Amino acid sequence: MSRRAVCGIVARELIRFQRQRGRVLASLVRPFVWLIFAGAGFATVFTGAGEIDYRRYMAPGLLGMVVMFGSLLAALSTVTDRDAGVLRMVLVAPIRRSTIALGKTLGATLLGTTQAVMVGTILLSLVRLWPGPAGLLLAFVAIVLSSLALGALGLLLAATIRSIENFAGVMNFVVFPMLFLSGALYPVRRLGPALHAVVYLNPLAYGVDLLKHALLAGWTSAGYGGEMPVALDVAGLAAFAVAGLLAAARLLGREEGVTRAAFRERD
């Protein structure tokens, strides 16, 4: 495992991110748009209004959303790398496929974490949520672990989908279901048994739940804190991270698409 190569891949992700002003701006503004509009709407139908202000309730979910867009989309940039040819250059470097997968995932983790921490500092003061040092530390751990798990998952998706056109499909069939079944906007325990079972297959659900443990500990008894044990959240995220990384490394090793495509064109 070449540490230098991993650093190089991460450094490139950072340079690219800070050059894409629009992407930075969107990732920082998006959660506040949700806070204002979705927050206002859902607050009117939220049954727990006497117990907790809805905007405060959705803060952990919004942080989870920042992590998801930040790290999942960063890892999905591998699709763009393939189109631009950069991936081929990386594949011809004398490094293992697992090194590439690790570098890409760590880059995505760093981006997801940075964005979530930036949004978090503003968001928590806006909704007046003061979890204390232990809570903040746990929230940070939750953000890092979720970024890692979602980054690995994004890379796996990128290794599977072949073109940018499929990107929209990913948004509709991965990102939105993941968000709505994560507990970000409403408690998942009230969903029917079938949907509730799907929640356990959703990495974001573990991340949001861990964030609720960290930030909404005071409302646990009222039913608005974490809904699963902390240990399960951590184990779930770790499992998704490891499985995603291993699978993505395997799939990246089979990048025969380039030459194969050339031969399709010939016939």
Partner 1 sequence: MTAAAIEARGLGKDFGSIRALDHLDLEVREGEFFGFLGPNGAGKTTTVHLLATLLRPTRGAARVAGYDVVRDDLQTRRSIGLVFQETTLDRDLTVEENLRFAARLWNLPGRVAAPRIAELLGQFGLLERRRDRVRALAGGMRRALDIARGMLHEPRVLFLDEPTAGLDPRARRSLWELLQRLRAASGLTVFLTTHYVEEAEPCDRVAVLDRGRLAALGTPAELKRAAGVQSLEDVFLARTGHPLAEPSAA
Binding site for partner 1 (CB under 8 A): 2, 4-5, 7-9, 11-12, 15-16, 19-20, 84-86, 88-96, 255-256, 258-260, 262-263, 266-267
| Smallest separation, CB 91 to partner 1 (Å) | 6
| Nearer of residues 91 and 136 to partner 1, judged by Cβ | 91
| Smallest separation, CB 245 to partner 1 (Å) | 19
| Nearer of residues 8 and 187 to partner 1, judged by Cβ | 8
List the beta strands (DSSP E) in 138-187: none
| Smallest separation, CB 162 to partner 1 (Å) | 16
Give the distance, in angstroms, between the CA of residue 63 and the centroid of all CA atoms in the same chain: 10
- Do residues 161 and 79 make contact, with C-beta atoms less than 8 angstroms apart? yes
| Nearer of residues 19 and 192 to partner 1, judged by Cβ | 19
Maximum Cα interatomic distance, the chain, rounded to a whole number of Å: 68
| Nearer of residues 45 and 92 to partner 1, judged by Cβ | 92
Q: Which residues contact 89 (CB under 8 A, 6 or more apart)?
A: none
| Smallest separation, CB 25 to partner 1 (Å) | 17
Whole-angstrom Cα distance, residue 261 to residue 253? 17
Amino acid at position 149, single letter: A
| Nearer of residues 16 and 196 to partner 1, judged by Cβ | 16
Whole-angstrom Cα distance, residue 24 to residue 16? 11
CA atoms within 13 A of residue 102's CA, in its CB half-sphere: 13
| Smallest separation, CB 122 to partner 1 (Å) | 28
